[in-house]
Amino acid sequence: MAADPARRLRRYQEMRDFGRTAEPSGGTAAAADGHRFVVQRHRARRLHYDFRLELDGVLVSWAVPKGPTLDPKARRLAVHVEDHPIEYAGFEGVIPRGEYGGGDVIVWDRGVWRPVEADPARAIEAGTLHFDLDGEKLAGRFVLVRSGRGEKDQWFLLHKQDEHAQPGWDAEDHPRSVTTGRTNEEVAAAPGARWHGDRPAAEAEEPVGGWAAPTDDELAALDALGAKGRWSVAGRELALTNLDKVLFPAAGDGRAVTKRDLIRYYATAGPVMLPYLAGRPLNTHRFPQGVTEPGFWQKELPRHAPDWLTTWRNERAEPGEARRYVVADSVATLAWLANYGALELHAWTSRAADVDHPTWVLFDIDPGPETTFEEVLELARLHRTALEHLGLTGRPKVTGQRGVQVWVPIAPHCTFEQTRAWAETVSRTIGRVLPDLVSWAWTKDKRRGRARLDYTQNVLNKTLVAPYSVRPRPGAPVSVPLEWAELDDPRLTPDRWTIRDVPARLADRGDPFAVLLGLEQKLPGL
Ligand code: MN
């Protein structure tokens, strides 16, 4: 093997376009002392684990489809692939689709390795390398051995029988990053940083995509405005009006909520909310006089809307139907909507680019007057069990009113007729488990106070309240996504969080729905 890293990285560099991929290009980092190793879990066209040993200024690499194991009886196929630059050892993020290796990468394990052979480069050339690993997941004596037959690049990775050996040990049972604690799904949902390989490693990280919350200066400027004025946020100047108007009377904490409070909330929560809104037509529930007056639905873009708003034109609109919709895709848009009295935001479950194929299947547990919240929770847990049984990932959210919804992300591969029929089958199965709690009657008076499992929202232009949308109730409660385990928290109520405490919850716990973003699940047959 050539010892010159620049020459050895040529193949790696030829295979990538560093204008498009976030991977490091190599050639900028000094070789570190000692022998580092890293294992990256890489969801590309096929899932594999990249097993990399630092040697002579590069990462000598093997792709291990099933991942390394501590099981001394297992023998893992390991395909010898091109050397990678040292900086790649810390790379965790997304490689753009269409690029070589497109997908997401986490740092699955890392540590140091010690070769048994005196000249490991020569040992690799000869086709057998013994070494000890001291990582966070992997430890003990391993062997890489070139397969005697077939492809020259085919090797096997084995663990020796030693005190670190564990029969049956499977990498897939240990799915989290050792650097950030995240899964590949979580990294794909929020890559966080992009790596520019053409810059020095220390300057290579840059926030990816996404939206920035308003700065402290921008928020201070909002607070400093009188009843109206011009506010600059996210590069736009907005004309705000009636900022001290009370939109929500006080609830528990005795503080009324003004339009200024609402604008501040939507701008602040925007970076977390916008992934659920961007690219989708938006229906808004407006209460320009506040929630003590009746509100109304607005879908049509108003004539006075600023021309920088992203909009979508429904070419199939019937006479009398909305033709031009707002698409909320910036913090400024959310602030504009709040100023416009659009309290409640409902994005479509399909994207504007492909409105006939939803990317969410929704279950709405709609309590009747006799339904207790404990019963709502019982029904929600049955949804969890059903989804687990079907191998699907979903999450619950409280509505901010009385109910709980379950959101399941899917690839846009089904029509609404198909998702609705699928959801109905799941709902009816759940309903049979607790028949006393559930009614299938369409009208409220026939339901005798029981809950409805409403699968009928899975229809074009029918929507549920968006994650983190405010609800039109005193105190400004918010529809908040949850972890499943939070259903068992005795403090949980459907209207537990308001615009006053959601920002702290987000800072503290993050967004439980983030794991759903970018998950393109296929609905299994039932
Ligand atoms: Mn890979």
The DSSP-derived string for 484-512 is: GGGGG-TT--TT--BTTTHHHHHHHH--G
Question: For residues 439 and 368, is the Cβ–Cβ distance under 8 A?
Answer: yes
Tell me the CA–centroid distance for residue 424 and ligand 1, in Å: 40
Q: If you measure from the C-alpha of residue 122 to the centroid of ligand 1, how many angstroms do you get, rounded to a whole number?
A: 24
Q: Report the separation in Å between the CA atom of 48 and the middle of ligand 1, taken as the mean of its atom positions.
A: 6
State residue 192's pLDDT score. 59
- Distance of CA 46 from the midpoint of ligand 1 (Å): 9
Single-letter residue type at 319: P
Per the structure block, which two tokens stand in for 474?
């005193």
What is the CA(275)–ligand 1 centre distance, in A? 27
386, 338 in Cβ contact below 8 A?
no
- Return d(Cα 363, Cα 263) in angstroms, integer: 29
> Nearest to residue 53, comparing CAs of 41, 65, 40?
40
* pLDDT for residue 160: 97
Burial label, 223 (beta-carbon count in 10 A; 0-12, 13-18, 19+) = exposed
pLDDT of 204 reads 47
pLDDT digits (tens), the chain, 526 positions: 334 555 666 666 666 655 555 555 544 333 344 589 999 999 988 999 999 999 998 999 999 999 999 999 999 999 999 998 888 888 888 887 767 778 889 999 999 999 999 999 999 999 999 999 999 999 999 999 999 776 779 999 999 999 999 999 999 999 988 876 778 887 776 665 565 545 555 454 555 556 788 999 999 999 999 999 999 998 889 999 999 999 999 998 889 999 999 999 999 999 999 989 988 999 999 999 999 999 999 999 999 999 888 889 998 999 999 999 999 988 999 999 999 999 999 999 998 878 999 999 999 999 999 999 999 999 999 999 999 999 999 999 999 999 999 999 999 899 999 999 999 999 999 999 888 888 888 787 888 889 889 888 888 888 999 999 999 999 999 999 999 999 999 999 999 999 999 999 998 888 999 889 878 899 999 8
Strands (E), 254-393: 257-258, 282-286, 296-298, 310-313, 324-327, 342-347, 350-351, 354-358, 360-366
Instruction: Phi first, then psi: give them for residue 336, nearest 5 degrees.
Output: -65, -45
Q: How many CB atoms lie within 10 A of CB 66?
A: 17
Helix axes 259-273, 502-509, angle to 10 degrees: 20
Nearest partner of 138 among 76, 57, 47, 56, judged by Cα:
76
Distance 487 CA to ligand 1 centre (A): 38
Residue 142 CA to ligand 1 centre (angstroms): 20
Strands (E), 320-378: 324-327, 342-347, 350-351, 354-358, 360-366
Query: What confidence score (pLDDT) does residue 31 get?
Result: 36
253 CA distance to ligand 1 centroid (A)?
A: 52
Which tokens belong to 289?
């006089």
Number of Cβ within 10 Å of residue 436's Cβ equals: 7
Of the candidates 349, 355, 248, the residue with the CA atom closest to the CA atom of residue 312: 355
Q: Estimate to the nearest angstrom the gap between the alpha carbon of 483 and the chain centroid.
A: 13
Question: Quick one: angle between helices 373-390 and 416-433, nearest 10?
Answer: 120
Distance of CA 47 from the midpoint of ligand 1 (Å): 8
CA of 2 to the centre of ligand 1 (A): 22
Q: How far is the CA of 306 from the centre of ligand 1 (A)?
A: 45
Between the CA of 359 and the centroid of ligand 1 the distance, in Å, is: 28
Q: Ligand 1 centroid to 84 CA: how many Å?
A: 10
Give residue 81 CA to ligand 1 midpoint distance, Å. 9
Question: What distance in angstroms lies between residue 194's CA and the mean position of ligand 1's atoms?
Answer: 17
Compute, in angstroms, the gap from residue 21 CA to the centroid of ligand 1. Answer: 13
